[in-house]
Structure 1
Amino acid sequence: MKTTAVSFRAAKGQRKLSMLTAYDYTTARLMDACQIDALLVGDSLGMVMLGYADTLSVTMEDMIHHCAAVARGASRPLIVCDMPFMSYHLSPEQACANAGRLLKEGRAQAVKLEGGADFAEHIRLMVRASIPVMGHLGLTPQSINALGGFKVQGKAPEAAQKLLDDARALEAAGVFSIVLECVPAPLARLVSQRVNVPTIGIGAGPDCDGQVLVWQDMLGMVSGLSPKFVRHFAEGGETMQQAFNAYAQAVQNGTFPAPEHCYGMDEEVLEKLR
């Protein structure tokens, strides 16, 4: 059954929701055949697909290009597309216009934006325009310079209260779900209890209504330090490197291509060539 923003929201209290990032057609097709509820075309593509140091350089054109590819590959999960840095910050009207582009040109079925009560009016306008909106609180990567780095958010009393207040403001504005990133598990549990829309955790403990991970992280494809909240469900990076090396060796030693990989032709044709 197709997952929609309506059915996604209705799952709160009924079952846990699963979401993974997706950035291309081939991966989306694989995920479409699995039990994933939603695919997030995240602006994390800037780091894991394009090699940027952060998400700030990602453009609307980047998001539209990758989202359209995912939409061509997946028909069952809900497709949520991130609104990139400065695509919604200037005004509610700018936010609504760019969100509309993600739906029209990128074929997204919902958008996600970072920030709390400051963007409530932006969300209200988008919801009035029939654009489903997912919120994002806690560690918001587009604000990395203001936050001073990738740090757990909401540990101090004032910060914890603000996060809870922001969650309530997002719900009142009309979001159908809220991502909580790098939030202490007890606070994420409290927020999940206090709002009536699903919370989707990433580094926010087990009591959120669902979870999201970057697929390259959960398959062990990112070298270097891995965030504490990431679990490797398979060593995909190691498997790929083994396959790449095996291919290179087979080419070098002449075992690939073998006869079964080749096309033949009539010898008489060859004999007539001059």
Structure 2
Amino acid sequence: MSATSRIKAPTPSDIMARKGGTPLVSLTAYTTPIAQLVDPHCDFVLVGDSVGMVLHGLPSTLGVTMDMMCLHGAAVARGLERAMMVVDMPFGSYEESPEQAFRNAARLMRETGAAAVKLEGGLAMAPTIQHLTSRSIPVMAHVGLTPQAINTLGGYKVQGRGDDRAKVMADAQAVSDAGAFSVVLEKVPASLADEITAAIPIPTIGIGASAGCDGQILVVDDMLGLFTAFKPKFAKRYATLGEDADKAIAAYADEVRARSFPAAEHVFGDAAPEPKS
């Protein structure tokens, strides 16, 4: 696509203005080729810290570093033409203080070209969100199940049931009041997600939440069937590319061992072809 025909990517303000409209579509991406695939179909693409588990084999997102997020963010940016890019702030890069959060968020935006950053946490992170947004760094918030807090949450459990319902609602209201332009609701009861969506003026992005949210996001490797270590209930598989790849690799291995690959059409002869006149 030429510079003159390039479609202008949405801005955080554009995403915020979609509240209550046609649902927003988002997927994660970590590499240039996947970014190129999802770009025509998504309103925004998230470079998630899930990259640690999906591509690096880590047991959780806690081992992801700023260097990793900068590397993958820059790769994704090279594959996007029309979708807005958001980059996750990794564990330990923003919790210490609003000042620490600003330094790391500014680095992420500078080195990747991201339009916004995402950070986890509700009421406790509201002052940090306000600090960032007042200094020209758009923030997507994330409440409910926050994977960086699995050690205190007791694992990947649904959040917002029973007595915790009011807490998750308060978290969502706090990040909205602090200036976040949208908020991810992860693994919360559908009825609570609907209540939050109705109560706050910014778009809600569901993952294991409700079809009534203002948008949806999935990990791209989950929905394509590439990541198969485990399958969350909310991760609908739209393809089984992992199984297809396994069959293709097995076929290649069989042909190599049988010496049927490479065939004549895959190798080069001694004589160069005559040049065309």
The residue type paired with residue 98 of structure 1 is N
Determine the structure 2 residue equivalent to 1:100: 106
| Matched pairs, number | 266
Match status 1:186 vs 2:191 = yes
| Residue 214 (str. 1) matches residue 219 (str. 2) | yes
Determine the C-alpha separation between the residues in 2 that align with 1:122 and 1:187. Answer: 25
Among 47, 56, 64, which residue is 1:58 paired with? 64
What residue is the counterpart of 1:8 in the other structure?
15
**Partner in structure 1 of residue 25 of structure 2:** 18
| Secondary structure in structure 2 of the residue aligned to 1:93 | helix
**Cα distance in 2, alignment partners of residues 12 and 251 from structure 1:** 55
Equivalence map 1:253-272=2 (5 Å): 253-266=258-271
Tell me, in whole angstroms, the C-alpha distance in 2 between the residues paired with 1:13 and 1:223. 34
Cα deviations by residue, 1:81-118 (Å, 9 ceiling, x for unpaired)? 11011100011111011000000012221100000121
Q: What is the TM-score normalised by the length of structure 2? A: 0.92
1:2-57 CA-partner distances (Å, limit 9, x unpaired): 2221211111112001111111111111112x311111111111111111111111
1:150 paired with 2:156, answer yes
How much has 1:132 moved relative to structure 2? 1.0
Worse-superposed segment, 22-31 or 93-102: 22-31
- From the superposition, tell whether residues 176 and 105 of structure 1 become closer, same or farther in structure 2 (CA, over 3 Å): same
The answer for the alignment partner of 1:129 in structure 2 is 135
SS at match of 2:41: coil
How far apart, in 2, do the equivalents of 1:264 and 1:79 lie?
48
Instruction: For residue 226 of structure 1, report the CA deviation from its aligned partner.
Output: 1.4
What is the Cα deviation at residue 264 of structure 1? 3.8
State the shift of 1:265 in Å: 4.3
Q: Distance in 2 between matches of 1:104 and 1:224?
A: 34
Alpha-carbon shift at residue 261 of structure 1 (Å): 2.6
The residue number in structure 2 matching 1:70 is 76
Q: Which residue does the alignment assign to 2:234?
A: 229
Is the Cα contact below 8 Å between 2:47 and 2:73 reproduced in 1? yes
Secondary structure (helix, strand or coil) at the match of 1:73 reads coil
C-alpha distance in 1 between matches for 2:129 and 2:17: 20
Percent identity at matched positions?
50
Give the unaligned 5+ runs of structure 1.
268-274
- CA–CA separation in structure 2 for the residues paired with 1:261 and 1:244: 17
Q: Does 1:28 align with 2:29?
A: no
